[in-house]
Each structure stands twice: as C-alpha cells, then as structure tokens.
Structure 1
Amino acid sequence: MSLKALLRGTGVALVTPFKKDHSVDYDALDKLINFVINGGAQYMVSLGTTGETPVLSKEEKLEIFNRTCDAVAGRVPVVIGIGGNNTQEVIKEIESFPLEKAVAILSASPYYNKPSQEGIYQHYKALAAAAPKPVILYNVPGRTGSNISAQTTLRLAKEVENIAGIKEASGNMIQCMHILKDKPKDFLVTSGDDHTTLPLIACGIDGVISVAANCFPKDFCAMVLEALNGNFEKAQSLHFSLLEGFDLLFAENNPAGVKAFLYELGVIDNQLRLPLVPLSEGIHVQVKKFLASLQ
C-alpha cells in the first residue's frame, strides 16, 4: 500500500501530557491515544510540534515515541516528527530512533535560519538520503519564518525519491492548489490547518494532520471522511459545528488550547512547560461553554 493510501484521512498531532510537576504523564498519553483511536483517527503523529518537542529532552522523545507505539499496538500507523534547523543534527536524530516502528518521518522546514528555497531543497534532499523511511515535508511559515514554495515542494516531489508527501500549513489556498495541480500521482498532500481542511479536500488533498482531532476526534474524523467520500453537505454541517472550537484552539497558542479542552474532557492535566502557559481564564471559560454546547 502506498503512503498516500495508508495516510488518507485524519492523523492526530498528539499532545504530550504532563503531570503537575511537569514530568511526562505516560498513563495520560495511553489514555489520549485510546481516546483518539476510538474516535476514528486513521493514524498517530508522535513528536510533532503540538507535542511541545522544543522542550523535551532526547531521552523523553525516545520514551514518548516508544510508549506511543506500544499504546497504538499496531491498530493504526504511526508517523514520527523529526525536524530542526541544523541539518546534520537532524540526520543524527533520524539515525538514533527505532524507525522500524514508524511508517514515515514528518520533518518541519528549518526555523529561524530562514534559508533560501535552494537551501530548503538541499536540506530535505540530505534528510531523504539519510532516512530509512519516507519523508513528509512540513510547511508551517507561521512558526518557521519561511515558506516552502509550491515550486520547491514540486521539485522535491519529482526529483527526490524518498520525499513522499507534504503537510501544508501555510494557509495559502492558492499555493496548495498549485501543488495539487502538478504533483506526482502518489505524492501525499495533507492539511496542517484544521480550519481549511474541508475546502482543501474539495481541491483534492488526502486529509489532515490535526490538532482538533485530539479533543473532537469523533466529529472531526467523521467530517474528514464525509468530505473525502464526497458527502459535502454532511461534512459542512460537522465543520460548522466545530468552527468556534477551532478558533478557541488557536486563540492564544498551540497546544494550550487543545490541552484546555482535553483537561475539561478528563483526558489529561492542564499542564504545559515554559515558555508556554495554560490558556488565560477568559478563554478557558469560553472553552467550557463551547464544550457544553457541543455535548
């Protein structure tokens, strides 16, 4: 089965639950994984930026990935997030993980350095050469400070054998359409933005790697599958029922929003590691109100 077929639908960018002392809460991670798989998610993404990877140690990352694979227990595929702005260090990290447990590597474009398009191309070409699993590009200009252009994405898709897809979170619908128009047939294109997943499916994307599916798995995964199956009236109804929730998820920062929702649902504690802090009280009140209206 191609990666495009394997990862069709909703992947969940899993949060990392913490205890009150800010150590990793592995029991809560198990609980979260069961919650989202039972809600209908097609695959898990471990160690994405929603998992607060910038504040995790290398040892914690390895333990989180292994624990995630154990909790998933083969029920759905697992994608691992490995990225950074030091190409050689990312390659070393790729070589240090038990990647036989993953179906692919999701790698965010280098942040802060602001490389040129040629620099981005060469970075990913080097990662792909070192990686024993397919590499999925991750374009998130709002976090990295630079955009992977449609031209660079298509060049990587066509010229570098081990580049298998992209998580597109630019929010630029026109850019996404150019990728969809000219991409190779088996190149995976998935949304990295919950708000625009529905209209992008209408344009031809394969699904989403979602923050919202952590806390609204049943309705969100159903929305994606209805849209992928061409049932847009039903998908629209589910999309609009969740729209205020999407707004609240990203009102202050990610993952403070989703952790507030998961806390109110009784799945995890509402704990983040500095420099991130929990949602402000006013927004948290809106989270509770929205959940009450949804239920």
Structure 2
Amino acid sequence: MFFNGIYTPVITPFGSDEKIDFDAYSKHVGYLQESGVHGLMIGGTTGEYYVESHEERVELLKVARSVVGADMQIIFGTGSLDPNASVRLAEAGAQHGATALLVGTPPYSLPTQQELADTALTIDKAADLPIMLYNYPARMGVNMETGFFDRVFSHSSNFKGIKESSGDINRLHMLVNSYPELEVACGMDDQALEFFAWGAQSWVCAGSNFLPRQHVALYEACVKANDFNKARRIMAAMMPLMQVLEQGGKFIQSVKYGVELNGGPVVNVRRPLQGLSESDKEQVAAVISQLQANIDQILAAPSV
C-alpha cells in the first residue's frame, strides 16, 4: 500500500489581519508529527487553499517539509479553478518535497469524463509523482466515473489512490470491486468504519488536527487489530462530533476551534468565512469533551 494510516489535512492559521501565521503553523505541524498521524495533506479543503495565493500554498509545503524532515509523507493539493494553476502547483510540489499530489476535479466548469482525465494526466505529467485523486462532487459539481478511471489508468501508473468524499456508499462498493488497484481513502468522516470494513487502509480526516490520538485509535482497531467490535464503539463515540462539524456550514471554523481547545494556537479563518458564535463554541467544546471521555474509557477497557 502506498497510502496507509491517518492523514491530516492541515489547517492554515491566519492572524486577525488574515495573514498566515507561519510560526503557529510550524508548531502545529510539529504537534501532528509527534502525535502519531501517518501523513499530512497540505493545501486541502480544510487548509482553505481556495483563498490562498500560489506563493502561500508553496510556502506552506516548504515549511511543513522542513518541520517533519524527509520521512513523513506529505500529499500536496493542486486544486484550482484554473488547470494551468494546478500544473504549476504540481511542478512546485515535485520541487519542494511533496511525496504525492492530491488531484481533484476543476470546480464549476463541469468537464466531461475525458476532459477530467486529460486534465489529471496533464497535472501528472508535470510532476511524475504518485497521485491521490479527490472525488468531491458536492464542491466540484461532477463525479469521477468509469470513463475517467479507464483513461487515466491506461496512460499512467501514478494514480495510486482516491480520497472518496461523495458520501455515496455505493461509490465505495464500485471503487473496491471495479478498481482493486486503486487504494480507496475515506474522505467522508461519518463513513470511516464502513470504508475500513471494505478494506480501506487510510483516512483523510480533518478532526485529526485536534484529536489525532482518537483518530489513530480507530485506524488501529480496524486495520491493525481487525477488532471491529472495539472500532464500532470508537466510531459511535465520534459520531456526535461529526454531526456538529457537518452542520451549518461551519466545518473549518469548528476544526480550528478544536485546535484551540486542544491547546493549539488561537487562529482565524480567511474571508468569506467568519468565526463561530459563542453558542457554537460551547456546543463544539461540549461535544469534544464528551468524545474524549468516552474514547478514553473505551481504550482503557481490557480487550475481549
């Protein structure tokens, strides 16, 4: 397996002036490495790449690589409205230490499957790195379908995995059964248990920004120990957090507040997003506190 374990899509800490706080970012990246996650995703949706310049995105990669050293996997996001911008990001990823690229569908333009495939192959050619595809139709407006997969697989061996974020469990079944050569990573948090049950070996999970140990615990129960009784209990304890994160369009704000509650830096989002209300913060804090207590109890219980 090329992709294996918990991959954190790293937040971007912004100051009150909306500039990137690279000191806070470096400390957070170091914390994630020390906490035992298996890889980082720089420039994903959770990182708010869509409001960052090319230079900022590349600098985030360079800083992350300097913090974690040579051994830790870093997946570098190439997402953009403009496919030419994605190519430039791919080239920068290859130059500055990315282990792999995240290649999604250009949003808004609604390309055909052949157009999607040709765009992905152009990005691939620019860097010649392993690729994790990113299927997120709710944001991008289009799915990667059979015509796409058949075309990219026939032209390149770099397409190693896919972060499947459609929320359609039938997509998981299709990918596992029809494309066994493609490593499927969970990209929809409330389906993590189902993904692992179907043989997924990796989970790209924003909550691991502030609860890395708990997310690693679910991965280890499923993939390392094959203990799905324990895994179901961990997943049940996580579900209230996932419901809070997904409701009301405040996902990134809630993740960043979770980082703050975990002792990390107080960070802001960049417009058009705005911060949480006090009642939102109270809800997030209560759910996280209960989750931690419940999973601590599960992990402390003797194995049966």
TM-score, length basis structure 1 = 0.92
- 1:157/1:184 contact within 8 Å kept: no
**2:114 paired with 1:118:** yes
For 2:253, the aligned partner's letter is A
**2:27 paired with 1:23:** no
SS in 2 for 1:195: helix
- 1:135/1:162 contact within 8 Å kept: yes
1:45-90 deviations in Å (ceiling 9; x for gaps): 1111211111112221121111111111235211111122322332
Q: Trace 1:233-248 onto structure 2 (pairs within 5 A).
A: 233-248=229-244
Q: Trace 1:175-190 onto structure 2 (pairs within 5 A).
A: 175-185=171-181, 187-190=182-185
Q: Distance in 2 between matches of 1:231 and 1:158?
A: 37
When structure 1 is superposed on structure 2, of 128-137 and 148-157 the one drifting more is 148-157
**2:181 paired with 1:205:** no
Instruction: Note closer, same or farther for the CA distance 1:159–1:183 as it changes in structure 2 (3 Å cut).
Output: farther
Q: Distance in 1 between matches of 2:146 and 2:157?
A: 18
Q: Distance in 1 between matches of 2:289 and 2:80?
A: 39
SS in 1 for 2:203: strand
- Aligned twin of 1:282: 279
Q: Trace 1:250-289 onto structure 2 (pairs within 5 A).
A: 250-251=246-247, 252-289=249-286
- Aligned twin of 1:227: 222
**2:161 paired with 1:165:** yes
- Aligned twin of 2:296: none
For 1:217, the aligned partner's letter is P
- 2:163/2:204 contact within 8 Å kept: yes
Q: Trace 1:1-12 onto structure 2 (pairs within 5 A).
A: 5-12=1-8
The offset of 1:125, in angstroms, is 1.9
Q: Distance in 2 between matches of 1:108 and 1:77?
A: 19
Taking only the aligned residue pairs, the percentage that are identical comes to 26
Unaligned stretches of 5+ in structure 1? Answer: none
Aligned length: 290
Q: Distance in 2 between matches of 1:92 and 1:210?
A: 26
The offset of 1:184, in angstroms, is 4.3
The offset of 1:10, in angstroms, is 0.8
Instruction: Note closer, same or farther for the CA distance 1:51–1:139 as it changes in structure 2 (3 Å cut).
Output: same
- 1:133/1:162 contact within 8 Å kept: yes
- Aligned twin of 2:302: none
The offset of 1:96, in angstroms, is 3.4
Instruction: Note closer, same or farther for the CA distance 1:245–1:266 as it changes in structure 2 (3 Å cut).
Output: same
The list of structure 1 runs, each at least 4 consecutive aligned residues, that deviate by more than 6 angstroms after superposition, is: none
SS in 1 for 2:251: coil
- Aligned twin of 1:65: 61
Instruction: Note closer, same or farther for the CA distance 1:219–1:109 as it changes in structure 2 (3 Å cut).
Output: same
When structure 1 is superposed on structure 2, of 194-203 and 285-294 the one drifting more is 285-294
SS in 1 for 2:106: coil
The offset of 1:219, in angstroms, is 0.7
The offset of 1:122, in angstroms, is 1.6
TM-score, length basis structure 2 = 0.89
Q: Distance in 2 between matches of 1:46 and 1:88?
A: 19
- Aligned twin of 1:140: 136
- 2:78/2:87 contact within 8 Å kept: no
**2:51 paired with 1:81:** no
- 2:78/2:101 contact within 8 Å kept: yes
RMSD: 1.8
**2:170 paired with 1:174:** yes
For 2:240, the aligned partner's letter is E
- 2:42/2:75 contact within 8 Å kept: yes
For 1:24, the aligned partner's letter is I
When structure 1 is superposed on structure 2, of 63-72 and 79-88 the one drifting more is 79-88
